[in-house]
Amino acid sequence: MKNIIEEMGDMAEKAMNQLSEYTNTSETVAPTPERNLPAVIPKDVATVVDYAPACEGSVPTLNVAAPVSGDTVPEFDATRIPYWEIPAEDEEPEYPEEQEYNPYENEDLPECNGFDISSLPDETVAKLRQNYLNDAIAKGTDISSDLSGAEDERKFLVENAPLLFVSKSADAWVSDAAMRPNPKQLWHTLWFENEVACLFADTNMGKSIYAVQIAEEIASRGRRVLYFDFELSDKQFQLRYTDPDTGELYRFSPGFIRAEFGDKPVPEDMAQMVQQIEVCALRNNCNIIILDNITWVCNRCESGDAAGELMQLLVSMKRRWDMSILCLAHTPKRAQTAVLTQNSLAGSKRIANFMDAIFAIGMDFTNLPGGRYIKQIKVRNCECLYGDNNVIRTQLVKDGEMLRMQTVGYAPEIDLLVPAGSEKESREQRIEELLVEGLPQREVARVTNSSLREVSIVAKQLRRKSAA
């Protein structure tokens, strides 16, 4: 490089000597305003100094006397640089500082400010364009102006840009779907295959009992079900399914797999938690999953944003592995005279929007001991059979070693609720039921939204009845 610069300097000095032979005056011609070059110069000199301004500091600049004859200097292209600064094919081009590289600055030929890439190999130019488009796609940059009228770039986007959607004609969707079997019922018409469903109820209404009953029924048909129990310990689970008189244990179907937390810390990140659920399901070869309950997966489920993020993760998992997922959830406190709706679900709007099916458990306030009812709130695969006018009436019973909800009939929901004006009596009845089940008074007060004094009064009345 040093030899080239010295050679160019010698050539420039020789050109100046030749130029002095053509002039009889020492008057200097004012340089043109845009270029520091004389207006007239011999052709052989112009070939030497054509790119001199772009190389200031590398070769001598000219300030010559007015020539007698000669030709006009060719117009200088300020975007060009000397050939020796053009990078080799295996080198990354160096761009001027504080200038953003835009290969689409000119419509006809991409340029990088101050660097004419017309001399570069086609492969290098194509790589520059591809890197620019990949970067724009990754950052979500609007490049519509860059692509206007550029058929090759449009073709690049069509062939190489990452695709989020699958598109085909509506007739093709229908024809392709018709080739696959229809989803089967997993639990009545409340939960179908390949659905993300939700079962919600208030505390101590029997959600977990009903979920285990559903899991056992599905497993008894030869299917594999993975039940994530985030609430009960193994001993509590065992006692629930043991005959209190004989001590006999209930024998579950082989396909019923139960999972609980191990000794490792529970991850706080929701995505990591869902990933662990996914890995556990794959290891156990289960595509039917029950989560009891989603508060353990996301303790901020009552927040709409957190609930929406959780549901997106679950729906994505379902689609990847053709899974069927049932999520158990709580309901906030509500009036006992009100019917169950999707608004009764904690974090309702975001969760309900993503769910394929929703059903709930409510309290039966008639004289039926242990009375509950099951209401169908959202359904996509069939007609809603167990809505407002036809809820499933059930009774919580201990059938030998198995604790289950036994269906006793059907009725309009309004007939099973507390009549307006008698809510106090029904609350006292509910307090009495919970005390009989053995719940501490403080827990009963929290569940029934009552004062501790009111629970204490009912407890005293209950003791008098027992003594009598």
- Decide if 395 contacts 406 (C-beta within 8 A): yes
Residues 282-304, mean pLDDT to the nearest whole number? 81
- Decide if 124 contacts 117 (C-beta within 8 A): yes
What is the pLDDT, as a whole number, of residue 451?
83
Residues 351-369, mean pLDDT to the nearest whole number? 88
Residues 418-443, mean pLDDT to the nearest whole number? 77
What is the pLDDT, as a whole number, of residue 333?
67
Q: What percent of the chain has pLDDT over 70?
A: 63
Q: How confident is the model over 251-290, as pLDDT tens digits?
A: 999 999 999 988 888 887 888 889 999 999 999 999 999 9
What is the pLDDT, as a whole number, of residue 338?
82
Band of pLDDT at residue 369, cut at 50, 70 and 90: confident
Q: How confident is the model over 20-35, as pLDDT tens digits?
A: 655 444 444 444 444 4
Q: Which of 218, 213, 187, 219 is nearest to 401 (CA)?
A: 213
Q: How confident is the model over 122-148, as pLDDT tens digits?
A: 777 677 666 766 776 666 666 555 554
Distance separating alpha carbons of residues 29 and 44, to the nearest angstrom: 19
What is the pLDDT, as a whole number, of residue 113?
41
Q: Which residue has the higher pLDDT, 172 or 429?
A: 172
What is the pLDDT, as a whole number, of residue 229?
95
Band of pLDDT at residue 9, cut at 50, 70 and 90: low
Q: How confident is the model over 383-410, as pLDDT tens digits?
A: 999 999 999 999 999 888 899 999 999 9
Residues 114-120, mean pLDDT to the nearest whole number? 55
Average pLDDT, the chain: 76
What is the pLDDT, as a whole number, of residue 108?
44
Residue 217 pLDDT exceeds 90: yes
Band of pLDDT at residue 167, cut at 50, 70 and 90: confident
Q: What angle do CA 49, 53, 59 make, to 5 degrees?
A: 60
Band of pLDDT at residue 437, cut at 50, 70 and 90: confident
What is the pLDDT, as a whole number, of residue 380?
92
What is the pLDDT, as a whole number, of residue 27?
46
How many Cα atoms sit within 13 Å of 207 on the Cβ side? Answer: 24
Q: Which of 352, 255, 247, 279 is nearest to 310 (CA)?
A: 352
Residues 162-186, mean pLDDT to the nearest whole number? 89
What predicted TM-score, i.e. pTM, was given to this entire model?
0.60
374-382's contacts with Cβ under 8 Å and 24+ in sequence apart are 374/190, 374/210, 374/405, 375/340, 375/413, 376/189, 376/190, 377/340, 377/341, 377/342, 378/342, 378/352, 379/189, 379/190, 380/195, 380/356, 381/183, 381/189, 381/192, 381/195, 381/356, 381/357, 382/189, 382/192
Q: How confident is the model over 221-253, as pLDDT tens digits?
A: 999 999 999 989 999 999 999 998 888 999 999
Band of pLDDT at residue 51, cut at 50, 70 and 90: very low
What is the pLDDT, as a whole number, of residue 361?
94
Distance separating alpha carbons of residues 323 and 288, to the nearest angstrom: 6
Q: Which residue has the higher pLDDT, 181 or 6?
A: 181
Q: How confident is the model over 76-103, as pLDDT tens digits?
A: 444 444 444 455 556 565 555 555 555 4
Residue 49 pLDDT exceeds 80: no
Residue 299 pLDDT exceeds 80: no
Q: What percent of the chain has pLDDT over 90?
A: 34
What is the pLDDT, as a whole number, of residue 57?
43
Residue 179 pLDDT exceeds 80: yes
